[in-house]
Amino acid sequence: MKMGKRTLSIALALIMAIGMFVVSSSAAGPADYSAVENAILTELPSATDRYFYTDEAMTLIDDTIGLIDLNLQSESQSVVDGYVTMIEDLGALLNKTVTDASQSPLQFAYGTSFSFAYVYPYGTSGLAFYPLRDEQKAVNTLALDADKTAVPLVHRIDGDQTFTVTLSLGSNALICAGNIPVLFDKTKLEVVSVDNLNSTVLSNKYDFDATQDPVNLDFWPVIYRNDTAFKAQWGGITINITPSYDSAPFSVVPTGQEDVLNINFKVKAGATAGDAVVYIDPNFGRDAFNRTNSLYIGRAKADAGPGVVQYDELATY
């Protein structure tokens, strides 16, 4: 009888132990990484936007993400939550601006196992600067492409009286462009409309406004300002581009050119056959004393918000 009781006690103990193990095992599980994933998506540059960062920045991003242990269990959730803070701190560093070299080297550390120091290059003091962005990769290009090159004979073919000229722009992060002057031969062409191409990546991230035949005389550079014959032949459209602050992070890889604006022309009644010339005149150069007749493309201040202020001229035409 005693043996039976002892056997029963052992059996009950085993059952209880197994039960506790089952409860313990079922209570444990993988940690929740959703906040980490969200932080990576929102705080760090995308694969496309990483193009514009320095090699040191890209290495730092890879090394930091490499610190994340993806196999932690729920009892280590606090460690996972710490990864979120780490990524947020990294994002803040990547988007940090400086105005001189006084903060070099920039420091980033996580715990005691990882640290990073970056001695950044710097140009002109007093201008806002992203030390972890590669300015040399921020190349700007402009191009005009037309679906026709010559004016048809007037009323020769029904529906053949219109031209579409597309303004293309290869851009960098936080671009701003002021007063891009598109000139057209107004003895042959009339403007029908200027349309933002909302289907493109770039135009989704930028706001455009276009003004035909600017009334301000200062629109014209000095070389043309009093040239009545030139202005009798050529009409002007001035285009401004500013970042859309509803669509961060404001950058596009400059592979090829992004079509951003359609300028629709029609053949002017009585126009003679010949080339339909639409172009960007290089005589419209940036003028520090008069921005009304300037063409510039550059980087906008990070904190400029609406009413972008240019701080860094990367290309002048």
Answer whether residue 15 shows pLDDT above 50: no
193 and 283, same domain (yes or no):
yes
Let me know if residue 123 belongs to a domain: no
68 and 104, same domain (yes or no):
yes
CA distance 16 to 21: 9
Judged on CB neighbours under 10 Å (0-12, 13-18, 19+), 122 is middle
pLDDT of 245 reads: 54
Average pLDDT estimate for 183-187: 89
**If we measure between CA atoms, which residue out of 146, 240, 142 comes closest to residue 189?**
146
Find out whether 73 and 31 touch, Cβ atoms under 8 Å: yes
Lowest-pLDDT range of 16-25, 108-117, 261-270: 16-25
pLDDT of 239 reads: 75
pLDDT of 193 reads: 82
Model confidence band, residue 289 (pLDDT cutoffs 50, 70, 90):
very low
pLDDT of 106 reads: 86
Q: What letter represents residue 106's amino acid? A: L
CA distance 252 to 269: 40
For the chain, the straight-line distance linking the first and the last C-alpha, in angstroms and rounded, comes to 104
Q: Find the DSSP H helices in 161-227.
A: 201-205, 222-225
Answer whether residue 23 shows pLDDT above 90: no
**If we measure between CA atoms, which residue out of 213, 195, 201 comes closest to residue 261?**
195
Domain of residue 196 covers: 138-316
How many domains does the structure of the chain reveal?
2
Number of H helices, E strands in the chain: 7, 14
167 and 279, same domain (yes or no):
yes
92 and 203, same domain (yes or no):
no
Let me know if residue 8 belongs to a domain: no
CA distance 116 to 256: 35
Write out pLDDT tens, residues 74-127: 999 999 999 999 999 999 998 887 777 788 888 888 766 677 888 876 655 565
CA distance 158 to 151: 14
Write out pLDDT tens, residues 212-241: 766 666 678 778 888 889 988 998 887 766
Answer whether residue 206 shows pLDDT above 70: no
Domain boundary among 54, 88, 118: 118
Q: Of 27 and 202, which is predicted with more confidence?
A: 27
Task: Give pTM, 2 decimals.
Answer: 0.51
pLDDT of 45 reads: 84
CATH code of the domain containing 202: 2.60.40
CA distance 282 to 156: 34
Answer whether residue 177 shows pLDDT above 70: no
Let me know if residue 200 belongs to a domain: yes
Model confidence band, residue 269 (pLDDT cutoffs 50, 70, 90):
confident
pLDDT of 253 reads: 39
Mean of per-residue pLDDT scores for the chain:
70
Q: Which residues contact residue 191 at a Cβ distance below 8 angstroms, ignoring those fewer than 6 apart? A: 184, 212, 235, 237, 263, 264, 265
73 and 187, same domain (yes or no):
no
68 and 188, same domain (yes or no):
no
147 and 222, same domain (yes or no):
yes
pLDDT of 125 reads: 58
Write out pLDDT tens, residues 26-85: 457 999 999 999 999 999 987 767 877 888 889 999 999 999 999 999 999 999 999 999
44 and 101, same domain (yes or no):
yes
To the nearest whole percent, how much of the chain has pLDDT over 90? 16
Average pLDDT estimate for 296-317: 41
Let me know if residue 4 belongs to a domain: no
90 and 151, same domain (yes or no):
no
84 and 147, same domain (yes or no):
no
